[in-house]
Amino acid sequence: MGTWPYSRLCQDWVPGYHCCLIHCLTAPFGALIEWLWLRTPLTLWQILCGLIVLVGVGIALMPGEHLKLGRRELLAGTLFSIVAALGGAYGAVLSRKAYAIVHASQESIDGANAAFQRIVGGLLVGAICLLIVKRREFRIQSQAPPELIIEASKKNGAASGPGC
C-alpha cells in the first residue's frame, strides 16, 4: 500500500524520466551519506558496480526525441529529482542510525511506531515546503480587503457550503 501513492504521483505529475532518476540516485546517495556519516566502508567492488549502474542509467536517461520537456522543465525536474533522492537517502540512513541507537540502549521499536514517526516527519517537511512555495499567495491574500475575500468565497460557493 505504501508505494501506491508514489506510483500515482509518478503517473500523474512527474514524468517517468524524473521518477527513474529519483529511484536510481537514492541508493548511491544513501551509500555516500552512510559512508560519510556512519563510516560504513564500501569495497572497491561495490563502488565499481554502483558506478556501472549509474553510467547505464545515465545513458538510458539521456534526453532525446522521446523526452518532450523544455530545457527549463528538464533542469528544474532534474534538480528536484536530485533533492528528492537526497531526502530519501538521508531518511534511510537516519532510520538506520536510529535503529542502531535504539539497539545499543537495549530498547526496541516496533514497525508501526517507526512508520508513524517517519510519516509525521514527512508531513512536517512537506508542510514547510508548501508554506515556502505558497508564501507569496498568503502574503497577497493577507493584504486583500475583507470585502474582496468574502465576495470571492461567495462566487466559489465556499460561503454557502456543499450542496447549496
Regarding whether 66 and 23 lie in a shared domain, the answer is: yes
Regarding whether 116 and 105 lie in a shared domain, the answer is: no
Regarding whether 133 and 53 lie in a shared domain, the answer is: no
pLDDT at position 164 is: 46
Contact criterion met (CB below 8 Å) for 85 and 25: yes
Regarding whether 105 and 135 lie in a shared domain, the answer is: no
Regarding whether 104 and 118 lie in a shared domain, the answer is: no
Regarding whether 144 and 71 lie in a shared domain, the answer is: no
Is there a domain that residue 164 lies in? no
Is there a domain that residue 162 lies in? no
HSE-CB for 9 with a 13 A CA cutoff: 9
Determine the angle formed by the axes of helices 44-60 and 16-37, rounding to 10 degrees: 160
Regarding whether 129 and 102 lie in a shared domain, the answer is: no
pLDDT at position 66 is: 57
What is the domain count for the chain? 2
For residue 42, the tally of other CB atoms under 10 A from its CB is 13
Regarding whether 88 and 132 lie in a shared domain, the answer is: no
Determine the angle formed by the axes of helices 16-37 and 71-104, rounding to 10 degrees: 40
Predicted structure pTM score: 0.65
Contact criterion met (CB below 8 Å) for 62 and 122: no
Is there a domain that residue 2 lies in? yes
pLDDT at position 59 is: 81
Regarding whether 94 and 39 lie in a shared domain, the answer is: yes
**Per the structure block, which three cell numbers stand in for 38?**
556512519
Domain final position from 109, 128, 145: 109
Instruction: Give the residue numbers spanning the domain of 7.
Output: 1-109
pLDDT tens, N- to C-terminus, the chain (164 residues): 445 555 555 555 556 677 778 888 888 899 999 999 999 998 999 889 888 888 887 787 776 665 676 778 778 888 888 988 998 899 889 888 988 898 999 998 888 888 888 889 888 988 898 888 888 887 877 777 777 666 666 666 554 445 44
